[in-house]
Chain A
Amino acid sequence: MSAPWLDVLDDTIRSCAAHNRPDLAERLREKRARQLDPKLRVLVLGEPKQGKSQLVNAMVNAPVCAVGDDVTTTVPTFVQHAETPNAALVRTIANTPTERIPVPLDQLASQVGAAHTGELVRAEVGIPRALLTSGLVLIDTPGVGDLRPAHTASTFAALLQADAVLMVSDATAELTASELELLKQVMTSCPNVIVVLTKIDIAAQWRRVVERNRAHLARAGVTAKLIPVSAALRLRAAKTGDKALNAESGFPELLACVQRDIVAAADELARRTVAVTAASAIKQLVTPVREELQSHGSQGAHATIANLNEAQRRIDELRRRSARWQTVLADEMADLVSDIEYDLRDRTRRILREADKTFETADPALGWEEFETWLEDNLTEAAATNFAWLLDRSAWVAEKVARSFPVHRDDLLPESVFPADVLARVSKMDKPVIEKFGVSQKLFTGLRGSYGGVLMFGLVTSLAGMPLINVISLGAGALFGGKSIMDESDQRLKRRQGAARAAAQRHVDDFFIKFSKDFRDAARHIQRSLRNHFSTLADELQETLLESARSARRAVQDDNTERERRAREAKLELDRLVQLYQRVQALGRTPPLGISA
C-alpha cells in the first residue's frame, strides 16, 4: 500500500527536478528513502552539558555513550538494536568511502577520544533492548553552540536524517533564548519534537522551571511535549531495581511517550516530516517563480527598450542633419556658380580690353596670326585658372557638406565628381575680312583724287590764261591723287581694325558663353554628383539605423511576447506548486504559504 504522503513527496521531487533544483530533489529523495526505511531515527539534541548522553544511557539502561563533566560527546553516536552488544567507529579518510572499525563496547568512549587518522563520522552501538526492537535508533549528538563549530555541524547533519527529536535542556535553568532559537530551527526540518527536561534530581525548583518552559514554548509557538526526567534516578533505580525510584525518574513516562508518539505513530510521523520538508522545498521553489512573476523580467526589457530609443534618436538626428547638408550643398553651389561666372567674365573682359588696345594701333592685316595665338592662349589660361578654382571650390564644398553630415566615415568624400569633358574646345576664331588695297585700286583711287585737283587748279589757272592742263594743275592733281590714296588706305586700316576688334569681341563672347555654359554645366554636374553621393550615403546610413531600430523594436516586441509567455508559464507553475502545497498541507499542519494562488 503506498501511503498518500508518498505520492505528494514524489510529485514534489519531480517539481524540484523540473525547477532545476537537484539539491532539493536529492534531499527529498534521501528523506523518501529514510521514510521507507523501517528504522526510526530519534535524535537527542541540545546545547552542551545538558545531559544528552546520560539521557540515552538511561533510556537503554546501559552506559553506551560517554558521559563526562567537560564536553565529552564529539561525534554522533547511533544506538540501535542488536542481538549481541557491539560497537563500531565509522570514519572517513579524505574523500574515500566511510570505513567501519569494530571496537569493544566498553572501549568505545576512549576510542572516540583517541586520535584517529582521517575524520570520525559517527559511532555505532548495538545492544539488545526491547525498546529498540521496533527499529528505533537513538542518536546522541555533540552539543549545539559548542566552541568547536565542527561538533555543531555534525549535529545538524544528523538532524537531516532524524524522524523525531528529543530536545534536551536541564532543569537547573529555563530554556534560554539560544535554546528556543535552536528549537525553532529544528522544527523546520523535523517537526516531531519532545522537549526533555533533565537533571530534575538536582534542581529543587524544577516544577517552576517546567511551568516557565511551557510558557516559553507557548510564546515561541512551539507545540512540543515537555517531559521532566532524571537520568541519575533512573540509572540508580536500574541498579537497585527500585520501581518507585524508576517512576520518580520520569523515564516510564518518556519511554511511553516515545513508544506512543514516535514508534506507534511512525506513519503519522512520516506524514508530518514529509509535510514539513516538502513544504519547505516548495517554498524554496515558489520564491524564484514569484519573483519572476513580479519583476516581469524587467531587466532585459530595459536594455532592449534603451536600444530602441537610441536607434530612434539616431534616425531623427540623421533626418535633421540631412536637411541641413542639402541646404549647405545648394547654397554653396549657387555661390560657387555666381563666383565662377563673375571671375570668368572679369578675366575675358580684361583680355578683350587688351585686344582693343592692340587694335587701336596695330594693323590686323599684319599680325593677325600672332594675335590669334595670343588670344587663344590667354583665353585658355583664363579658362584653366577658372576651372582649377572651380575644382578647388567644389572640393571645399564637398568637405563642408561632409562636415555637416551626422556621422563620420572614411568614404564620406567623393572620389571624383568632376565631368571629364569640361574643356571642350571652342570653335576656331573667325578671321576678320581684310580687304586688299591693290595697285590698280590705288591707281584708281589716285586718279579719282587727282581728277578733282587737276580740274580745280586747271580752271583757276585757265583764268590766268593758262590751259586747263598745265603744270600747276597737274601738280595739284598729283598732290590730290596722293592724298586720296592715303586717305583711302587710312580708312581701310580703320575698317580693318574695326573688323578685327569685332571679330575678337565676337570670339571672346562666344568663348564666354560657351565656357560659362560649360562651367555652369560642370558646377551643376558637380552639385548633382555631390548630392547623389551624399544622399546615397545618407540613405545607407538611414537604412542601417532604421534596421537597427527595427530590430530593436522587434526585440522589444519579442521580449514582450516572450515575457508574457513566461509570465503565463510562471503563473501556471505557481498554480501547480500551490496545488501541490495544498496537498502537502492536507498531510499535516504546516504554515500557509503566504501567497494567493
Chain B
Amino acid sequence: MTLADEVWVLLEEALAVYRDSPRAVAWLRGHQARFAEPVRVAVAGAPRTGKSTVASALIGEEFVPTGTFTWYRDGMRPRATVGPHEVPIARRDGRAFVDAVDADRVTVEWPSRSLREMTLIDTPADAPVEQVYGEADAVLYLTRHVHSTDLRYLRTAHDHPVARAAPVNTVLALARADEIGGGRIDALSSAKQIARRYRREAQVKPLCQNVIAVAGLLAVAARTLRAEEFAALASLASLPRTELEDHLLSADRFVGEDFPIRLDPSVRQGLVERFGIFGVRLTTTLIRQGFDTQVKLTGQLVQRSGLGELRDSIGLYFTGRHDVLKARSALLGLDVVLRNEPRSGSVGLAVGLERILATGHDFRELRLLAALQGGRTKLPGELDAEASRLVGGLGTNLLARLGMEYEPTEGELRHVVLDTLGRWREQAANPALDHGQRRAASVVVRSCEGMLAGLS
C-alpha cells in the first residue's frame, strides 16, 4: 500500500468516526478533495519582495497584485471568481487586472502549462504564517536578503509536530536578484553565489530545501516580451556602448530629455518599469552579444533570470514530491480535527496518524534528508552526499537517485541498484558507525530496495 493509499484509508476512517459532526466532515471532505488536486504552492514573503512578480513569471502572464490571497489554477479560459461570483479580468497597462478590492480570496483560472501540475497562491504580505502554511502544500518564500525576521517566519512554520515529522515544503528565493550590487551587469551571477552561500548557512539549511536567486522582474518581462519592446531594446542596443552607458546611469537619466535616439519618453518609461534599469542594461548587452531575435533573447533572459532554476526547484521539491506533500497536508488537516474534536474513536485515528508519520518510508526519507542537510546526521566521506542523493535529495526519479547522467540499459540499472544496495547493507551493519548513522544507512537500504522493487 502506498503512502497515498494509507492516508486515504485513514481519512475514510476519520470520516466514519466523525460522520455526525458536520464541521469535521466538511473539513475532512475538503482535504480529500485537496488530495486529488495539483500541489498548492504559496508564494510568501515580506512586503515588496516581488511575490506577485514571481507568481506572474511562473504563470507567464503579468498580473496586477490584488492585495489578497489569489489562487491561480489551470483552466480552459481566463476566468476570475470571488466566492461564487465571476469577476471580470481587465487589462491595465498590458497587465491582467482582477478588480476584487475587499475579497478574502480571488481564484483565477488561467490556461498555462505551469499551472497544470501546481496551483499557485499569491499571498498578501501580512498573511499569517499559519494560514499560508495551512492552505498551501508547499511554500516558495521570497526575500530580498535573508533577514532575521525571515528566519523567524520560517521557524514558526516548522513548529508543528507533523511539520517536524515531514520537514519538506519550503524553497527560499532571493527575489529581486537584479538589484544586487547596484544593478551591475553581473548582478545575477553574484546573486547565485549568495544563494549558494545561504544554502550552506547553518541557520538557513534546516528551514528550507533549497535557496535560489531569481530576478522576478526580468523573468516576467522575458516571458511576456512584446515585439515593440524588443524593437525598442534593439534600437537602444544599436547605440554605441559608451554613449548608452551614460544614459543608463540612472533611471532618471534613461527617461530624461536629450536622449540620443528617437524613442518616446513614455516608451522608455515603460521599458524601465518592466525591465528595471538592470534589465535594460542586460538586454541591450545581450542583444549586442548576438541574442538578437526575440526568441533567443527570451530564452537567454529566462535562463539568466533564475526562472529556470526556480522551475527546476519547484519540480524537484514540490511537484516531484506531489504524493508526500499531499499526504503531509492531509495528515496536518486530520491532526487539526483530532485535536479539536477528541472522541472515543479518535485515539485509534491518532495512533494511525502517528504510525504513518513514523513508518511511512517517504517521511523517513524526508527526515533523513533534512537531518543530512541540517548536519544533525553526518555520514563519513562520500557517503553523506550519496545518501542524500539516494533518498531523493536531487530528485526522486530513479536516475536522479542513482546519479546516472546517461540512459542505462535495464541490466545496467539492475546491476547498479544491486551494487548500491549491497554497499549500503554493509553500512547498515557497519560497527564503526554509530547508532544514528546505521539507522540512516538502513533508511537508504530501504530506498534501494524500493528502487529494486520498481525495476522488476
Tell me whether A and B are bound partners: yes
A positions within 8 Å CB-CB of B? 47-49, 51, 54, 68-70, 145-147, 149, 170, 172-174, 176, 178, 199-206, 230-233, 236, 245, 248
Inter-subunit contact A146/B148 (CB<8 Å) = yes
Provide the bound-state CA to CA distance between A355 and B237, in Å.
159
B54 an interface residue at 8 Å Cβ cutoff?
no
Inter-subunit contact A70/B273 (CB<8 Å) = no
CB of A203 to closest CB in B, whole Å: 6
Inter-subunit contact A69/B148 (CB<8 Å) = no
Known: A51-B182, A202-B276. A236 touches B148 (CB 8 A): no
CB of B279 to closest CB in A, whole Å: 10
Known: A173-B144, A176-B47. A202 touches B183 (CB 8 A): yes
Beta-carbon nearest neighbor of A147 in chain B? B203
Chain A residues, Cβ within 8 Å of B182: 51, 54, 199, 201-202, 231-232
CB of B223 to closest CB in A, whole Å: 20
Provide the bound-state CA to CA distance between A245 and B193, in Å.
32
Cβ-defined partner of A204 (8 Å) among B48, B149, B193, B272: B272
CB of A185 to closest CB in B, whole Å: 14
Chain A residues, Cβ within 8 Å of B377: none
Inter-subunit contact B179/A172 (CB<8 Å) = yes
Inter-subunit contact A202/B250 (CB<8 Å) = yes
Inter-subunit contact B147/A178 (CB<8 Å) = yes
Inter-subunit contact B276/A204 (CB<8 Å) = yes
Inter-subunit contact A48/B145 (CB<8 Å) = yes
B236 an interface residue at 8 Å Cβ cutoff?
no
Inter-subunit contact A145/B249 (CB<8 Å) = no
Chain A residues, Cβ within 8 Å of B277: 201-202, 204
Provide the bound-state CA to CA distance between A70 and B144, in Å.
12
Beta-carbon nearest neighbor of A173 in chain B? B48
Chain B residues, Cβ within 8 Å of A199: 179, 182
B187 an interface residue at 8 Å Cβ cutoff?
yes
CB of B53 to closest CB in A, whole Å: 13
B positions within 8 Å CB-CB of A? 46-48, 144-149, 151, 176, 179-183, 187, 190-191, 193-194, 197, 201, 203-204, 249-253, 255, 269, 272-273, 276-278
Beta-carbon nearest neighbor of A48 in chain B? B145
Inter-subunit contact B251/A204 (CB<8 Å) = yes
Beta-carbon nearest neighbor of A202 in chain B? B183
Provide the bound-state CA to CA distance between A312 and B105, in Å.
72
Chain A residues, Cβ within 8 Å of B197: 70
Chain A residues, Cβ within 8 Å of B203: 147
Provide the bound-state CA to CA distance between A178 and B149, in Å.
8
Beta-carbon nearest neighbor of A170 in chain B? B179
Provide the bound-state CA to CA distance between A201 and B246, in Å.
12
Cβ-defined partner of A69 (8 Å) among B48, B146, B190, B276: B190
Known: A49-B145, A69-B194, A145-B149. A232 touches B249 (CB 8 A): yes
For the complex with contacts A147-B148, A202-B276, 7 further pairs of A-B residues with Cβ separation under 8 Å are A48-B147, A49-B144, A69-B191, A147-B147, A201-B249, A201-B277, A232-B250
Chain A residues, Cβ within 8 Å of B273: 204-205
Beta-carbon nearest neighbor of B248 in chain A? A201
Chain B residues, Cβ within 8 Å of A176: 46-48
Q: List 8 A-B contacts (CB under 8 A).
A: A146-B148, A147-B147, A176-B48, A201-B277, A203-B251, A204-B269, A204-B272, A248-B252
Inter-subunit contact A233/B249 (CB<8 Å) = yes
Known: A54-B182, A199-B182. A172 touches B176 (CB 8 A): yes
Known: A49-B144, A173-B144. A200 touches B204 (CB 8 A): no
Cβ-defined partner of B255 (8 Å) among A51, A200, A204: A204
Top 5 nearest A-B pairs (CB, nearest first) are A201-B250, A69-B190, A204-B251, A202-B183, A173-B48
Beta-carbon nearest neighbor of A54 in chain B? B182
Beta-carbon nearest neighbor of A49 in chain B? B145
Cβ-defined partner of B278 (8 Å) among A174, A202, A205: A202
Beta-carbon nearest neighbor of B187 in chain A? A69
Chain A residues, Cβ within 8 Å of B47: 173-174, 176
Chain A residues, Cβ within 8 Å of B183: 201-202
Inter-subunit contact A200/B146 (CB<8 Å) = no
Chain A residues, Cβ within 8 Å of B48: 172-174, 176
Chain A residues, Cβ within 8 Å of B187: 69
Known: A201-B250, A204-B255. A69 touches B272 (CB 8 A): no
Cβ-defined partner of B249 (8 Å) among A149, A203, A205, A245: A245
CB of A294 to closest CB in B, whole Å: 37
Beta-carbon nearest neighbor of A203 in chain B? B251
CB of A378 to closest CB in B, whole Å: 91
CB of A232 to closest CB in B, whole Å: 5
Cβ-defined partner of A230 (8 Å) among B147, B193, B250, B272: B250
CB of B418 to closest CB in A, whole Å: 44
Known: A202-B277, A202-B278. A147 touches B180 (CB 8 A): no
Beta-carbon nearest neighbor of B256 in chain A? A248
Chain B residues, Cβ within 8 Å of A231: 182
Chain B residues, Cβ within 8 Å of A51: 182
Chain B residues, Cβ within 8 Å of A47: 145, 147
CB of A152 to closest CB in B, whole Å: 8
Known: A201-B277, A202-B179, A202-B182. A147 touches B249 (CB 8 A): no
CB of A207 to closest CB in B, whole Å: 9
CB of B251 to closest CB in A, whole Å: 4
Cβ-defined partner of B204 (8 Å) among A48, A147, A149: A147
Most chain A CB within a 10 A radius of its CB, from B148, B151, B183, B273: B148
Most chain A CB within a 10 A radius of its CB, from B144, B249, B273: B249
Known: A70-B193, A204-B272. A147 touches B251 (CB 8 A): no
Beta-carbon nearest neighbor of B48 in chain A? A173
Inter-subunit contact A69/B201 (CB<8 Å) = no
Provide the bound-state CA to CA distance between A231 and B180, in Å.
14
CB of B156 to closest CB in A, whole Å: 16
Provide the bound-state CA to CA distance between A454 and B179, in Å.
181
Provide the bound-state CA to CA distance between A47 and B181, in Å.
15
Chain B residues, Cβ within 8 Å of A178: 147, 149
Provide the bound-state CA to CA distance between A70 and B278, in Å.
18
Provide the bound-state CA to CA distance between A173 and B53, in Å.
14
Chain B residues, Cβ within 8 Å of A68: 181
Provide the bound-state CA to CA distance between A54 and B181, in Å.
10
Provide the bound-state CA to CA distance between A248 and B272, in Å.
18
Chain B residues, Cβ within 8 Å of A201: 182-183, 249-252, 277
CB of B97 to closest CB in A, whole Å: 18
Beta-carbon nearest neighbor of B181 in chain A? A69
Beta-carbon nearest neighbor of B204 in chain A? A147
Provide the bound-state CA to CA distance between A201 and B179, in Å.
11
Provide the bound-state CA to CA distance between A371 and B201, in Å.
123
Provide the bound-state CA to CA distance between A172 and B193, in Å.
21
Most chain A CB within a 10 A radius of its CB, from B147, B190, B197, B201: B147
CB of B314 to closest CB in A, whole Å: 25
Chain B residues, Cβ within 8 Å of A204: 251, 255, 269, 272-273, 276-277
Chain B residues, Cβ within 8 Å of A236: 249
Provide the bound-state CA to CA distance between A3 and B191, in Å.
52
